[in-house]
A and B are shown apart, each in its own frame.
Chain A
Amino acid sequence: MKAPKFRYVRPSSVDDVYPLLARHGNEAQILAGGQSLLAGLNMRLSTPALLVDITGLKALDFISLVDDEIVIGALTRHTTVLNSPVVRQHVPLIADAIRHVGHVAIRNRGTFGGSLAQADPAAELPACVVALGATMVLGSSDGTRRVPAEDFFTGLMQTDLRPGELILEARIPAQRNGRVHGFAELSRRHGDFAVAGIAALATLDGARIADARLVYFGCVDHAGVARHISAALIDQVLPLGSTEALLDVLRRDLMPADDPTMRADTKLQLAAVLTRRTLNALQEGPVR
């Protein structure tokens, strides 16, 4: 289908965005890359009166290393993240995950901040920034505000963004020495949104799990740390055996819903399989 009628404006600086958001309120929608937004408009899932096109704002297109934080500007395209040696070296979880975001043509336009603002429960990047303990930097006409990624995602496609606010950047702590990461997802076709996925960080003491921080996507309504399974894994020895014990704990973290293509208990089972597979692979992965 075709998008409904809307108006369009292309501000020339971040400071010009805020008055537009203030003036048009809920009628305005930020266009940060458009790879979900424009698909949704074509399907008439939303009908904003005004698109505020910020895709040309170069000030928000950067990747930098500041002290021990990787700072990714909101308008950094997935392709730029994919090709960044800084990301590969310091946040390899993101480097692994970004390969699964869409396809080349999507990655050439989709942006880091756009994906986070969209907060799709099946998207890779929200899970990664939560797993990594990142901080979101949000801008508005009142200045900037910092929100831990863990608190940023509040529900199904819902974030802590307030009216008039814009994501400026994500600040991601570099993966510490000695920490290992794992990323895996199951999707019907490569590049599709995941049916179930996992972003994991852990510290291993030989084969013993000393610490774990697991975040799921696809089988949750928003990205958040899976506390019960993360705690239950401490002191477990790899390789993990049956998925039965994992399933019992995962039921307390994940409450997937039935959907027309898959039952909730199937998603749980897939999450348990991914958990075992990903953690068992950590032993072979590069220890940083």
Chain B
Amino acid sequence: MMQAEPSDEIEISTIVNDAPVTRRVKARQHLADFLRDELGLTGTHLGCEHGVCGACTVRVDGEVVRSCLTLAVQIDGRIVQTIEGLSDSGAIAELQVAFLARNAAQCGFCTAGMLLTAHELISQRAAATRAEIRDFLSGNFCRCTGYQAIVDAVDEVLRRRAGT
């Protein structure tokens, strides 16, 4: 789809967590604010707001992105999934159980982003080692856990899936 004339407000049509959404958005509004303020999807957290912390991670067309470094207008015609959608669909249920069992969430601020990135990892790298898990999750900061329990939880899901 194109936006042929420069404008500071644009109508977008998108699918968020399986529901079609059409809204007028300001050009300057990033996706995290759109999800939180316009759609009430506050599971996506806004930490640093400049792409460092990973708390705002969502999926666009099946891949994780920083929603603070994506404009709302850029999801026009795309499919967005947030922690709410992936929780409701059961797509990350295994990870959520493992996070709970391993105490991989403390304050919970990073958890939504961490789960989304971990979900991309287990979808793509069934044989990931602990070092590869750490590398893959390195863009998601956690200030509570020290990461050990998070890596344990992801590792457990991978090993359970592999039957080892």
- The residues of A with any CB-CB pair to B shorter than 8 Å are 1-12, 16, 20, 24, 31, 34-35, 38-39, 41-43, 50-51, 53, 55-56, 79, 102-106, 108-109, 189-191
- Say whether, besides A1-B49, A9-B5, A104-B64, A55 and B74 are in contact (CB < 8 Å): yes
Judging by beta carbons under 8 Å apart, are B7 and A38 in contact? no
Size bracket of the B interface:
35 or more
A9 surroundings in chain B (CB, below 8 A): 3-7
B81 to chain A, nearest CB (A): 13
A42 to chain B, nearest CB (A): 5
- Say whether, besides A3-B30, A105-B66, A105-B117, A12 and B139 are in contact (CB < 8 Å): no
Judging by beta carbons under 8 Å apart, are A104 and B4 in contact? no
A16 to chain B, nearest CB (A): 8
Interface contacts (Cβ under 8 Å), in number, total 110
Report the Cα distance A3→B6, complex, angstroms. 17
Judging by beta carbons under 8 Å apart, are B33 and A2 in contact? yes
Report the Cα distance A55→B70, complex, angstroms. 11
- Nearest chain B residue, comparing its CB with the CB of A108: B63
Judging by beta carbons under 8 Å apart, are A108 and B64 in contact? yes
- Decide yes or no whether B120 CB sits under 8 A from chain A: yes
Cross-interface CB contact of A38 among B10, B30, B138, cutoff 8 Å:
B30
- Nearest chain A residue, comparing its CB with the CB of B58: A105
A8 surroundings in chain B (CB, below 8 A): 3, 6-8, 10, 27, 71, 73
Report the Cα distance A34→B33, complex, angstroms. 17
A130 to chain B, nearest CB (A): 25
- Say whether, besides A106-B139, A108-B63, A50 and B6 are in contact (CB < 8 Å): yes
B139 to chain A, nearest CB (A): 2
Judging by beta carbons under 8 Å apart, are B69 and A109 in contact? yes
Judging by beta carbons under 8 Å apart, are B49 and A6 in contact? no
Report the Cα distance A103→B5, complex, angstroms. 33
Judging by beta carbons under 8 Å apart, are A51 and B54 in contact? no
Judging by beta carbons under 8 Å apart, are B33 and A108 in contact? no
Residue with the highest number of chain B CB atoms closer than 10 Å, among A3, A5, A31: A3
A191 surroundings in chain B (CB, below 8 A): 138-139
Further 14 A-B residue pairs, CB within 8 A, beyond A11-B4, A12-B2, A108-B63? A4-B28, A5-B8, A6-B8, A7-B8, A7-B27, A8-B71, A9-B3, A24-B6, A34-B74, A38-B69, A39-B69, A103-B140, A109-B66, A190-B135
